[in-house]
Every structure is written in C-alpha cells, then in structure tokens.
Amino acid sequence: MKKSSLYKGCLEPILLRLLKDNGRMYGYQMTQMVKEITKGELNITEGALYPLLHKLEEQGIVETETEMNGNRMRKYYSLTKAGKKQTAVAMDEMKAFMQSLEFIVNPKAIIG
Amino acid sequence: MKKSSLYKGCLEPILLRLLKDNGRMYGYQMTQMVKEITKGELNITEGALYPLLHKLEEQGIVETETEMNGNRMRKYYSLTKAGKKQTAVAMDEMKAFMQSLEFIVNPKAIIG
DNA sequence: AAATTATGCATAATTTTCTTATGTATTTAG
DNA sequence: CTAAATACATAAGAAAATTATGCATAATTT
C-alpha cells in the first residue's frame, strides 16, 4: 500500500478548509500551503487538484476570478454562499470520520 | 461527495489493526466489529473486503485457516510474521496521516 | 549564457479502490 | 414459511486518485 493512498477521498474537505480559512486562493498556492501545513506529508498532484476545482465550480461551491500576476495567470477560487454551507457540513463529516478512525491509532480508546 | 469516500484507502490499515488486536478473525466478523466500533459510521462492503483480504494473502501479509462452524464455512485470517512488521509500519503511517489532517478539524492547531 | 527549478494552468490515460449487483448456501427469528 | 442474518465469492461499473504530457513565464543555479 502506498502511503499516499490514505488521502484518497480527503482532498475535497482539505480544499474547503483552506478556502474557508484563507478566503481566496489559487490552485498552486493550495498545493504549497498543504505541503507546508502537513510538513511534506501530503503533496497534492495537479491531476487531482484541477479537475476537482473545476467540479466544485460546476457545482456552484466555488467561484473564480482570473488575475494576471505580471505575465502569469492566476485563477483565484473562493467559496460561494452555498459553498460555505457545504463546507460546514463537510467539516462535521470530517470530524466524525476522524473520530471513528481513532481506534486505529489509539486502540485503547474503545476500551475506556 | 459521498461521506463514505473519506474512507477510501483506509480499509487496509483498518483490517490490519483488527487482526493485530484480535489475533484471528473471519471476514464477516470484521465487518460487524467495525460497524460496532464506529457506531455504524463505517459499513465495510463485501465487494471491498474479500478482494482485499485475498490480495493480502497473496502478498503474504495474512494467512488463512478454513473451519466449519456447523455446516457453514468460516475462513479465519491472521497476520504472518511479515504481516506483523507491515502492520507496525502501517500504524505509524496512519498516525502521521491523522496528525497531518488535524488542521482540517482543528485549524487552530497550526497556530499554537 | 544555458540549463534547471519553480511557478501556474490544463487534460488524457491509467491505476487504485471502492460501490453495486449478482450468485450460492445455511441458520435464525418472526 | 418467509425474511433477515450469517458467510463466502466475483463481476461490472463508478469514483478518485497517480502518472504522463503539454504549454508558458520567472527565477535560480552552474
């Protein structure tokens, strides 16, 4: 098993958390921030990131603004009103998920 | 996003933890125990469980003994020596994974 | 000055991992 | 006596990632 396979399925809540905390971010920035926060544990690949961001935009969860930084394009993403509601739900689900997996890292938790 | 998608990639460490703690288990028993531990949060489907168990056996991580319980078959799985080593590694990875995702459920953790 | 790395987006092909559906068979509960 | 639970297995399909590829500019290294 690849270590990275653990993150499968968690990318969406990760992105929602970033946008919730930082308001407005562009894709590359998200990859760098996650790398920093997780101390290199998680490196989001572009092939996973961009298609997901596009899906979230289609679903009306995020909206975009494209800006030029010198000659380079940046596409900024931010949560819509609906996206903020969805994020709250996702955070609750994530919390429940983490708690239900506690027994793996701390098996004694199920005894006491 | 389906709630259950969060668990993607986590099934293998879950099974390894169960076998580590309980020594010897059969498939159906694993599904029931996980359902109980997670208070119904996680229901392992047979289509995910059995193929994975077979893969782990091929890889020499688990070994099996088939027993008859009345007229019904039970296929018991237990960790091999190599499987125990692999489990220790997997538990460490799982711990790192959970910690690196802490910021999602508890964003203030990255400040203090 | 040239080459490499970093920044920044995007998509296609493939793989991994799961869900859903199907199949077989015995036991228990209503 | 029928439905649900127990117990295994596999195939078809979907979901979500990795890997590979492509384009382009900026900064850094050699």
What ipTM did this prediction achieve?
Answer: 0.89
Say what percent of chain B tops pLDDT 70.
91
Provide the β-strand partners of residue A77: A25, A64
Give pLDDT, residue A112: 44
The phi-psi region of residue A53 (left if phi > 0; otherwise alpha if psi is between -120 and 50; otherwise beta) is alpha
State the fold for domain A9-102.
Arc Repressor Mutant, subunit A (1.10.10)
Q: Where are the alpha helices (DSSP H) in chain B?
A: 11-22, 27-37, 46-58, 81-100, 102-105
Question: How near does any CA of chain A get to the CA of B72, in Å?
Answer: 30
What's the DSSP call for residue A2? -
Give pLDDT, residue A8: 81
In terms of CA atoms, which chain A residue is nearest residue B93? A3
What's the DSSP call for residue A65? E
- Give the integer Cα–Cα distance in Å for B22 and A24: 47
Q: With bands split at pLDDT 50, 70 and 90, how would you rate the model's confidence at A43?
A: very high
> Is the model more confident about A8 or about A93?
A93
Tokens of A106: 């701390």
CATH entry 3.20.20.80 includes domain B8-101: no
Q: Please answer whether residues B41 and B29 qualify as being in contact, where contact means their C-beta atoms are separated by less than 8 angstroms.
A: no
Contacts A90 to B, Cβ<8 Å: 1
Give pLDDT, residue A31: 97
Exposure of B89 in the CB half-sphere (CA atoms within 13 A): 10
